[in-house]
Each structure stands twice: as structure tokens, then as C-alpha cells.
Structure 1
Amino acid sequence: MKFSEIKSCYIGPEVSPEQFIPEHFFLFLAKGKMDYFDGSKHYTLHPGEYCIVRKNNLARYNKQKENNYFEKVIILFDETFLRSFEEKHSVIFNEFESKNAVFKLDKNFFIDNFIQSLQPYFEISGRINDSFSDLKREELLLILLKQNPELSGIFFDFNAPGKINLQEFMQKNYKFNVSIDRFAYLTGRSLSSFKKDFKEIFNDTPSHWLVKRRLEEAHFLMKEKLKKPNDIYIDLGFEDLSHFSFAFKKQFGFSPSEVR
């Protein structure tokens, strides 16, 4: 069986499709192309490649079809599952130095064979039968830890994000369309502490500053890089073009199409 015959499937609990990553997951790409952006670095996944996407990070992805197909396998490692696994297997914790949101894995015979082994368990819905879901997740995690022992430092670190440099974090991640609560959590602060610290640093509210900062970047991209509004509004955290255009005109006094 070839990788091209693998169909899209999802193993593990459902998570909301947002730019905040609440749980670790393994991603295998069968068909198409996927680009990830974590605020500072771009990652590209091609057919037959796989990676770990780490929780408590912000990331945005863009998918491209291949011959009108885009198929992937996502296996979620939620905290409940990981705590149970850790207790069962007496995991040895290793420090993991990299803080990147995406960790690409080298091609591996055992992982390739594991992907192929999923085929008999696919249901019409694209999910793995619940009777086998946890067994297959456990099998994959054992393989990953055998081949990359340092991954224990990712999977079994259950601590909430610690307090970090707020100014540096916001300047890196202002393009992500997530709630203020998420930004507060990721900087290791309560919502009230986040707003207080934010005011002291930026002399502004988070919501107002985010819109202003995104629009400043939009103006730069259109004027200096000759980008079109339709090409940038999503990447800058705006949900639709009309909202972007309205906010832009309110900020600068002229529409995006009038930028010279």
C-alpha cells in the first residue's frame, strides 16, 4: 500500500479549529502540501512527511491540494491520554530545548509502517473505530519515544506557560486571530494582570493596539511591498475583507485601494 492510498483521518478527542493549539498532535501528510507559520518561522510539509505540533503555541496553516486532493492523518495526544500513558509506562522525562511550535520528524521505517497499519481501521467518516483509537495512539507514542526519547520533554510537560516578556511576545504574535484570554494565558498571566501589564508597556488596551498594529503592517505591505488587500487581510488576523477595509479607512482616512 502506498501513502497516496491513505485517506484523511482523525484520531483522538475533537478540538476547536483555531490558531491556538490546545493539545499536542501528530500530523502525517498523504496528499497535497501544507505550510505552517508560528509567528517567526515557516514550515512546509510534503506528501509522506510528518511532524509534531506542540500545544500552548500559536500557529496558522495553509493547505494546497494535489490533483484536487488534500489528505492527512492527525493523531491527537491530549493531556488525559498522556497522563494515563505516563503512569502505565513509567516514562523517563528528558528536557527538550527547542521552543518551536512545529517539530518535523525524520523519515522512519516504524512510523511509515504505523501509518500503513491504520488503513483497515478507517470508517466512512474518516475516523478510526473508537475500539482501536487509544490502542493506535499508544502504539504511535511508543514508536515516537523509542526513536526520539527527547520528545518526552514535549509530551509530558504538563505545566502551564510561565510568565514571559509580554512586549516581545505580542510583537511576534500580533497577527494571530485569537482572544485576549489566549494571549494572557500564553504569556503566563491572568487576564487582569495581562491588561495591567499591557497598559504599562504599550499605553493602550490590547484590543485597540492589536487592530492598530495589524493595520500599520497592512499599510507597509501594500505601500512598500505592493501587496493587495485580498492577499494579506487573513494573514494579519482579520476575519473578512470588508472588516479589514472598514478598519483601515477608519485608521488612515482612506481605503486600502487608495494606498499609493
Structure 2
Amino acid sequence: MKATDIKSCYIGPEISPEQFVPEHFFLYIGKGLIHGYDGHRNYTLQSGEYCIVRRNKLARYNKERENGEFEKVVIVFDKIFLRSFFEKHPVTLPEFTSPEAFVLLPKDQLIDHFIQSLMPYYSGFGKIDPQFADLKREELLLILLKQNPQLAAALFNDRDVPDKINLEAFMNRNFKFNVSIERFAFLTGRSISSFKRDFEKTFHNTPGKWLTQKRLEEAHFLLSKKSQKPIDIYLDLGFEDLSHFSYAFKRQFGINPTELVQK
């Protein structure tokens, strides 16, 4: 049996599908590809590859089917589980300063064997038997830390509340993410009131108006200079639907985005 025989499954507490990552999780690609982005760089994971996606980060990924199929394994390392794990298995916490959300891991035979070991516990409905879920999560984390000791800092040494950081640099790097103002405030180490106050001082605009304008300016560039299509860019620029994007674009520039592409 190959590792790719595992069907898509999820182990651990459910986490929100939004572009803010509330808990660390392990992501394994069984079939297909995943293209990820975290504001710093683009990533591609192919069949048999895996990574850690870190909490308190902005990240999004799009799946690409392979021969009509896509399968993945997601195993969540939430704070409660990690606290319990650390009490049982104290580990050294080396320095880890990377700002990236995706921690790509080298391929290792132990991980392939672990993925195969999930099959007997797999219900066929995307879940592993709850009686064994924490045991399998513990087993996986022991393997990961044995092969990649530097992961300990990424998983155990991060703060519950981010430090206060440079607002201008952060927003210019992450304006494309479709998350709430409250999330942006949290990630920059501010209360919502101090975020709005600092934002006004920095950008001389409200967060909502600035985000819309910044996204539309980027859209205009992609349409007019890169010949991209509205349907291919609106989600990646933080708009929830194509009709809202088209309406906002016409109100800003006086023409429909499709007209700009046709010129």
C-alpha cells in the first residue's frame, strides 16, 4: 500500500477555513498539488510532500487536482495538545525567527510509514477514530521533532499575542488577505482602537477604505499591465465575489474590469 492510498482526512479540532491560521497544523499532500502564499513568498507542495503551517499567520492555498483527484491529510497541533505534549516530552527550544507561515519539511521515510499507519483508523468520512486521534498526533510530533529539532521553537516558543510591529510594512505586504480589521489589529500587536488610530496616522485613511483602494490599484495593474482576467485575480486580492469586485472597480475607475482587459 502506498502513502497516497490514504483518503483525505482531518485529525484534531476543527479550525476556521479563513486566511488567518489560529492553530499550527501538519499538511500532507496525498494526491494533487497545493499552491500556497503567506505574504512573503509562494509555495508549491506536490504528492508525497508535507509542511507545517504556523499559527497566528496569514496564509492561503489553492488545490490542484491530479488526474481528477485531490487528497490531503491535515493534523492540527492546537495549544491544548501542545501543552500536554510538552509536559510529557520536554524539548529544547532553539532560536526560530522565520516570519513565514509555511515550514517546508524534507521528505522522510518515517513520515510515509506514519501516513500509511492511519489507514486502519480511518473511518472513510474524513475522520480518524477519536480514541486514537491524540495518540496518532503524539506519534507524528515525536517523529517530526526527532528529524527536525528546530521545529520545537516554531511550535512551542511562539507567543499567544504577537508583538507590536511596523504597521506600514505589514499592511503593504498583507493587504491582499481577506481577513477582518480585528485580525489585522491582532497580528500587528494592537487593540482595535490603537490599530485604527495608528492606521490613520500612517496612511491618512481608514483601514477599510485603504484596503479597498490598495486592492483595486493592484487589480488595475494586473489587468492593464499583466493582461490577467478579473475572474483569475479577484479572490487573490481579497474580494469575496466577482460581482462585488466588478462594482468596486467601476466605481473607482469608471469602467468595468473586463473593458480594461479588452483594450
Which category describes the TM-score, using the shorter chain as reference length? Answer: over 0.9
**1:236-259 deviations in Å (ceiling 9; x for gaps):** 011111000100111112211222
CA-to-aligned-CA distance 1:68-117 (integer Å, 9 cap, x gap): 11000000000010011111112222211322110111011211111111
What secondary structure sits across from 2:150 in the alignment? helix
Measured in 1, the distance between the counterparts of 2:4 and 2:24 equals: 25
User: 2:3 touches 2:113 (CA, 8 Å); kept in 1?
Assistant: no
Count of matched residue pairs: 260
Aligned partner of 2:188 in structure 1 is 187
Matched, 1:208 2:209: yes
Partner of 1:54: 54
Task: Read off the aligned partner of 1:233 and give its amino acid letter.
Answer: Y
Aligned partner of 1:28 in structure 2 is 28
Q: Match for residue 114 of structure 2?
A: 114
Q: Which residue of 2 aligns with 1:197?
A: 198
Amino acid at match of 1:144: L
1:93 aligns with 2:104: no
**Structure 2: any 5+ residue segments left out of the alignment?**
none
Calculate percent identity across the aligned residue pairs: 63
Q: In structure 1, what residue type is equivalent to 2:257?
A: P
1:164 aligns to 2:157 (yes or no): no
How far has the Cα of 1:39 moved from its partner?
1.2
Counterpart CA distance in 2 for 1:183 and 1:249 is 27
Residue 66 of structure 2 is matched in structure 1 by 66
On the 8 A contact 1:95/1:152 being kept in 2, the answer is no
Please report how far the alpha carbon of residue 123 of structure 1 lies from its aligned counterpart in structure 2 after TM superposition: 0.5
- State the distance in 2 between where 1:89 and 1:245 align: 53
- Residue 234 of structure 1 corresponds to 235
Question: Which of 84-93 and 193-202 deviates more?
Answer: 84-93
Counterpart of 1:113, as a letter, is H
CA distance in 1, matches of 2:80, 2:238: 31
Aligned-residue Cα RMSD (Å) equals 0.9
- Rounded Cα–Cα distance in structure 2 between residues aligned with 1:240 and 1:229: 11
Counterparts of 1:11-26 in structure 2 under 5 Å?
11-26=11-26
| Amino acid of the structure 1 residue aligned with 2:240 | E
Distance in 2 between the 1:215 and 1:201 partners? 20
Matches of 1:231 and 1:145 in 2, distance apart?
39
- Report the AA paired with residue 107 of structure 2: K
TM normalised by structure 1 equals 0.98
State the shift of 1:157 in Å. 2.0
Mapped partners of 1:4, 1:146: distance in 2: 23
Amino acid at match of 1:196: R
**Residue identity matched to 2:145:** L
- Give 1:158 shift: 4.3
Distance in 2 (alpha carbons) for counterparts of 1:52 and 1:219: 34
Q: 1:144 aligns to what?
A: 144
Q: Is the 8 A contact 1:79 1:158 kept in 2?
A: no
Deviations 1:152-204 (A, max 9, x none): 10111241210111100000000000000000000011111100000000000
- Report the secondary structure of 1:189's partner residue: coil
The equivalent of 1:76 in structure 2 is 76
- Higher mean C-alpha deviation, range 160-169 or range 90-99: 90-99
